[in-house]
Structure 1
Amino acid sequence: MTAMRGAAAYGRGAGAYARVGVESGVMSASPHQLIVMLFDGALSSIRAARIHMQAGSVAEKGRAISKALDIVNNGLLAALDTEKGGEIAERLGSLYDYVVRLLLAANLHDDQESLDQAERLLEDIASAWREIGSAGAQD
């Protein structure tokens, strides 16, 4: 019983340590790095959803897709500035809306192809963001 409590305490401590690491990363990140972190989080959630979908873990799949939806809607989509970004921001907004529809379809119908397509689209945009960041770092 004591070993179980020790393991639980260790797990809580490790989780708290990870949260502090993430929070520290967020606090010190540039706006560009924050967007990259949002993409990474959404992609990680989609990959987790795929694993849960394949394992038949409906609740876990739903939680992972929900997390990806939250990141796309309340992170990536909310960060768009259509005044400054103009047409590019509007097109990204449409693309994010489409990704949301794909994720909803994947969750509702256990549709792996929709999940795969959402991942590919986000990965393409994330890749472009990463390239922009590395080009800016070289200046």
Structure 2
Amino acid sequence: MFGSSRGVNEYSRVGVETGVVSADPHKLVVMLYDGAMTACHTAVMHMEAKDFERKGAMISKAIMIIESGLRLSLDKKAGGEIATSLDALYGYMSDRLYMANIKNDPSLIQEVIRLLGDLKSAWEAIGTQVAPDNTQFQRVQNYAKAS
């Protein structure tokens, strides 16, 4: 319709970069969940279109966000049992995505999307209850104590 999506992609990239620069730590975690979920949804779309190269690229992107963004940011000392549980869950999600890629099974990706969505919802719920300069796991611990 517009010929090339390059301008749209560039606009989107600048929007994300601007959001990252201005975001507090809580918002950054939400953005990571959004990015991983978007990559997963796009992977399913490419899987259904039998575009296996792009499917693989999107699954790799989702795994990178989960592993290098969410999992790597965990502070297991400060986060205790919650951080340890999140670490295991992030590892599980990465494994499921890896298997989805090998088996071309969109249901495995949908499972990860649901898990990411649940975590994102919890993050958004606790975001309003905790000061923006706390770490991810201090927020989770405060939320867990309040529940």
TM-score where L is the length of structure 2: 0.81
Q: 1:123 aligns with which of 78, 103, 117?
A: 117
The structure with the larger Rg is: 1
Higher relative contact order at CA 8 Å, sep ≥6: structure 1 or structure 2?
2
Offset, 1:134: 3.3
2:94 aligned partner: 100
Q: Distance in 1 between matches of 2:23 and 2:60?
A: 25
List gaps (5 residues or longer) in structure 2: 132-147
Deviation by residue 1:82-120 (Cα, 9 ceiling, x = unmatched): 111011000000000000000000001101221111111
List gaps (5 residues or longer) in structure 1: 1-7
The CA RMSD over aligned residues, in Å, is: 2.0
Structure in which a larger fraction of residues adopt helix: 1
Offset, 1:23: 1.2
Confirm whether residue 40 of structure 1 aligns to residue 40 of structure 2.
no
Deviation by residue 1:6-57 (Cα, 9 ceiling, x = unmatched): xx9x754444333222111101100000000000000000000111111111
**CA, structure 1 residues 17+113, in 2 after alignment: closer, same or farther (shift >3 Å)?**
closer
Letter in 2 for 1:58: F
Letter in 1 for 2:116: L
Q: Distance in 2 between matches of 1:18 and 1:119?
A: 21
Letter in 2 for 1:109: K
